[in-house]
């Protein structure tokens, strides 16, 4: 565990098994940041390319909250939760514009399961396949009470499966 933090106690930004993987990831991260700087906001974000992905998602949540300040029901940041949908975009290149609200993210993988495009649900993974890429996700925010109502209406009393997302 001692090599996971710097002398100052900060967490290392990139933990990969080899220097080659670390360097190729650094180049991809630089490309995302440089493209964003030169060409403006991307249509989809490589979520795993951020040092602090939670910060990026919180910023998106704040943006959605500000957008709804003019509504009759003023949204407060403490009253909203994430809303995530799996899109039909298998490849990042297929995304031609950003969503009206929220953002598209890519670069996530499922471990021990797979996403069925036909059934629009999680299914068993193919034999001997541990990691499967997830399609592009649309992440937005919604008022907590409205999100709970939508989940009950769409998925019944138990609601959908809340799939955890791990940083490493």
Measured CA to CA, the distance from residue 72 to residue 68 in angstroms comes to 9
User: Residue 9: left if φ>0, alpha if ψ -120 to 50, beta else—which one?
Assistant: left
Query: Residue 41: pLDDT above 70?
Result: yes
Measured CA to CA, the distance from residue 73 to residue 52 in angstroms comes to 31
Residue 133 contacts by C-beta under 8 Å, 6 or more apart in sequence? 108, 109, 110
pTM of the predicted protein model? 0.83
Per-residue pLDDT reduced to its tens digit, 134-147: 999 999 999 998 99
Measured CA to CA, the distance from residue 71 to residue 150 in angstroms comes to 19
Of 95, 92, 94, 66, the closest CA to residue 80 belongs to 66
Query: Residue 89: pLDDT above 50?
Result: yes
The pLDDT value given to residue 2? 46
Strand 103-106 to 44-46 pairing: parallel
Measured CA to CA, the distance from residue 38 to residue 62 in angstroms comes to 24
Length of the chain in terms of residues written: 168
Apex 154 CA angle, 57 and 166, nearest 5: 35
Query: Residue 10: pLDDT above 80?
Result: no
């Amino acid at each position: 565990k001692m090599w996971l933090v710097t002398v100052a106690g900060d967490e290392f930004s990139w933990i990969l098994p080899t220097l080659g993987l670390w360097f190729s990831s650094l180049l991809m991260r630089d490309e995302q940041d440089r493209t964003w700087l030169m060409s403006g906001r991307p249509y989809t974000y490589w979520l795993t390319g951020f040092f602090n992905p939670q910060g990026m998602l919180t910023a998106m949540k704040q943006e959605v909250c500000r957008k709804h300040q003019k509504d009759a029901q003023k949204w407060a940041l403490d009253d909203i939760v994430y809303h995530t949908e799996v899109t039909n975009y298998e490849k990042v290149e297929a995304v031609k514009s950003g969503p009206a609200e929220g953002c598209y993210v890519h670069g996530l993988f499922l471990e021990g399961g797979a996403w069925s495009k036909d059934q629009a649900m999680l299914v068993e993974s193919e034999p001997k396949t541990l990691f499967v890429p997830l399609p592009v996700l649309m992440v937005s925010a919604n008022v907590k009470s409205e999100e709970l109502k939508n989940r009950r209406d769409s998925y019944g009393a138990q609601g959908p499966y809340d799939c955890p997302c791990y940083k490493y």
